[in-house]
Structure 1
Amino acid sequence: MSAAETQRMQRAQNTRHVAYRAIPVPQSCGADAKRQQAAGRTTTGDTITAGARHDGICSIYLKLPEVTRAALVQAQGALERTVYTASDGQDTAFLLGYHRPHTAQEKLCTFSGAERLREGLVEYAALHAIRGSHVITVKTEPGVYAEQAMTTDDGQSWHPLDEHEHYRQTTEFTCGPVSLLNAMHRLHPQVTANRVDELHIWREATIAMACEPYGLALSAMKRGEQPRIIVSKTGPVLNPADGAMGMLDAAMSLDVQEHFATQAHAAGIPVEVMPFTAADVAKRLDGGRVALVLIDEHVMHGEICPHWVTVTGMLADGTLLVDDPWIDEPYGETLVDAYQLPIRQADFDLMIHYDEPASAQAMIIL
């Protein structure tokens, strides 16, 4: 047990006579509550059925304050959620925690209830989450924890984010340009992302909505970087068949990809053709390099779609740190959810095979 974890446990235990609980919320709960609300039914609108499992444990009915219930209904989609509670027999406090599937992070947010139970409940929730096999990092939204600290079990700390530390894509299809801008900011802090550059790079590298590695690498070179491309096969990387990915003209998209590849080879951008794993991505991070990697959003976001993310480094156990330009704001996500997101290599391996064999794996090393 790390020193940070021991300290959290001691602080949680110092609050005597308080009962804590962690209640996993079934994935259908938020959607069911939303449907009931839309139908005008209020008999169960302020309760959730939580803790239902296949191991025979009875369902637990828990009265929730409106602020927590509303956040729980909002945080549906692919998010995995837990309601944490603390009660001393007189007062009760609630805290919502959630994380994206196949990531090693839990975010604590939406505290409500007795203020004096806040610190102990946050400490309990962090300890409970870290004890779970899926969590390495616990982060808190500003306002949930007085210190507003975001810490890992090894004591590493994240400070509150400023506006330039992580830039999110402002359109549905500019993940590639924003991943490149976030990578450049990581390498050169004086470079700050903005919408003008986001759209400019998209215009340079798009194949009709999506962006592919050769075009993005050319944009990186134009901005003074020395990119290296790794793809799992030659030819177009993204298959635009059947109008997928918003491709307006499949033949045009294929032709543009061939043109970008020709330009990249002519510009002398190194290209390696080889299938790769998450371990191969990790090896490419030596010397402070970063990697733009094409993934399938389905594993983490619940949508089948090609998506670019920036892999910026690793934790001591080999877990990758990822800056994701996409934030599911309708589900209550903020920059905290997407910045330096830890993903174990086994989980990342699930993400890096979009539409194979029709499409190819791709990454760009800067």
Structure 2
Amino acid sequence: MISAEENAQSAQNMREVLYRAIAVPQSVSGRTQDIPREAEHMGTICAAGPKACDDIRSIYLKLPETTRAALVQAQGALERTVYMANDGHNTAFLLGYHRPHTAQEKLCAFSGCERLRNGLVEYAALHAIHDSHTITVKTEPGVYAEQAMTTYDGQSWRVLGEHDHYRQTTEFTCGPVSLLNAMHRLHPQMAVNRVDELHIWREATIAVACEPYGLALSAAKRGENPRIVVSKTGPVLNPAHGAMGMIDAAMSRDVQEHFATEARKIGVPIDITSFTAANVARRLDGGHVALVLIDEHVMHGVTCPHWVTVTGELADGTLLVDDPWIDEPYGETLVDTYQLPIRQADFDLMIHYDEPASAQAMVIL
């Protein structure tokens, strides 16, 4: 005989669950009235008819306060989606982060009815892939599993390696960290740490920023065989640009010329040619990785030169990028920056920092 408790559980399991995905406007200021009623997408499962859910405006208030603060802080820099599941009695919420011009969504900040968690995560992943044309969906630890997970197809999940990615510990060491992550990719046994990060920065800096010739010299010093690709001769980074944070433009120019002279002296191959994302992909043949100079504005909303490591590509040509920068105040973590898929058309938007004053640049290992 089936007990009353089992009957109740069966009825609960058969209850229709209504799912919603609500895009959070970039202009959201933390006030619930900034979330429009019409910005929603609905999907249902089970046989029962649709049921009323909480007002969309109240959904925002039910998110954890720290999550709401991150949404406000990140306005204009991240695309955000609130996912909701409601079975008529219980509600659960999940937040999705999506960097502009990338093909990945991160699911995080789950709250509400625990029983609705797995179905909500699965709905959010499918929504991101089918409605947002996302390739990779990742979850923060505690949302779906004990460790962060990733998928290329919405189905097969794998554990994110503990030492697969190292983040920059300063605002200006993206170049050294991109180099260290590239070397770690080629030599997994190699440890990556802050001591080496700062040491390489001291070797390769031209006053705050690092440029390709200095980074190539640091790579060669550590036993690598780098190749430099730049779109023109002369200094790669324009030291007069305000975003560079240069103190002495003449010194920065002279240091770049010195690095270039030293690179030629030790025989580092140098290709003077402009390039596209497709050219970057072709340079990865044979197990190579590439440090590529990009403009942060496309992903972060701030115009600034930035180095990332391109480690490979997917079957459709989408590039896989390790970004050393994590926007912690916006709610980002390592999950957002490790093996970030970026379609070639989007990457083409990133690889033209300050042209024609500055040049395109990459270092291939």
TM-score past 0.5 threshold: yes
Partner of 2:101: 102
- The alignment's TM-score, normalised by the length of structure 1, stands at 0.87
Shift of 1:245: 1.1
Partner of 2:42: none
Distance 1:332 1:154, change over 3 A: closer
Distance in 1 between residues matched to 2:351 and 2:109, nearest whole Å: 33
Shift of 1:134: 3.5
Quick check: 1:220–1:227 contact (8 Å CA) kept in 2? Answer: yes
Partner of 2:69: 73
Quick check: 2:136–2:153 contact (8 Å CA) kept in 1? Answer: yes
Shift of 1:224: 0.3
Distance in 1 between residues matched to 2:14 and 2:220, nearest whole Å: 56
- Please, what is the CA RMSD of the aligned residues? 1.8
Q: 1:49 aligns with which of 35, 45, 48?
A: 35
Shift of 1:165: 1.6
Quick check: 1:26–1:51 contact (8 Å CA) kept in 2? Answer: no
2:234 is equivalent to residue 248 of structure 1: no
Distance in 1 between residues matched to 2:66 and 2:34, nearest whole Å: 11
Quick check: 2:277–2:345 contact (8 Å CA) kept in 1? Answer: yes
Distance 1:344 1:268, change over 3 A: same
Distance in 1 between residues matched to 2:199 and 2:108, nearest whole Å: 35
2:225 is equivalent to residue 226 of structure 1: yes
Q: Which amino acid aligns with 1:307?
A: H
Quick check: 2:60–2:68 contact (8 Å CA) kept in 1? Answer: no
Distance in 1 between residues matched to 2:241 and 2:57, nearest whole Å: 47
2:150 is equivalent to residue 150 of structure 1: yes
Distance in 2 between residues matched to 1:322 and 1:211, nearest whole Å: 19
Sequence identity (%) = 75
Distance in 1 between residues matched to 2:236 and 2:37, nearest whole Å: 44
Distance 1:225 1:156, change over 3 A: farther
Give CA-to-partner distance per residue, 1:123-170, whole Å, 9 cap, x none: 0000000002431000000100136432121755431331x2211000
Shift of 1:192: 1.6
Shift of 1:15: 6.9
Distance in 2 between residues matched to 1:64 and 1:335, nearest whole Å: 25
Quick check: 1:68–1:95 contact (8 Å CA) kept in 2? Answer: no
Give CA-to-partner distance per residue, 1:99-123, whole Å, 9 cap, x none: 1000000000000000000000000
Give CA-to-partner distance per residue, 1:282-327, whole Å, 9 cap, x none: 0000011000000000000110000000000001111000000000
Q: How do 1:156-195 residues align onto structure 2 when only pairs under 5 Å count?
A: 157-162=157-162, 164-195=163-194
Shift of 1:191: 1.0
Distance 1:95 1:50, change over 3 A: farther
Quick check: 1:68–1:96 contact (8 Å CA) kept in 2? Answer: no
Aligned residues: 334
Q: How do 1:24-43 residues align onto structure 2 when only pairs under 5 Å count?
A: 24-29=23-28, 32-33=29-30
Quick check: 1:95–1:109 contact (8 Å CA) kept in 2? Answer: yes
Distance in 2 between residues matched to 1:333 and 1:281, nearest whole Å: 27
Distance 1:240 1:98, change over 3 A: same
Point out where structure 1 has 5 or more consecutive residues left out of the alignment: 1-13, 37-43, 54-58
Distance in 1 between residues matched to 2:133 and 2:107, nearest whole Å: 15
Partner of 1:307: 306
For the pair shown, the structure with the greater C-alpha radius of gyration is: 2
Q: Alignment partner of 2:35: what SS?
A: strand
Distance in 2 between residues matched to 1:117 and 1:50, nearest whole Å: 25
Distance in 2 between residues matched to 1:123 and 1:237, nearest whole Å: 46
- The alignment's TM-score, normalised by the length of structure 2, stands at 0.88
2:74 is equivalent to residue 88 of structure 1: no
Q: Alignment partner of 2:160: what SS?
A: coil
Distance 1:251 1:320, change over 3 A: same
Q: Which amino acid aligns with 1:153?
A: D
Partner of 1:358: 357
Shift of 1:249: 0.2
Quick check: 1:168–1:326 contact (8 Å CA) kept in 2? Answer: yes
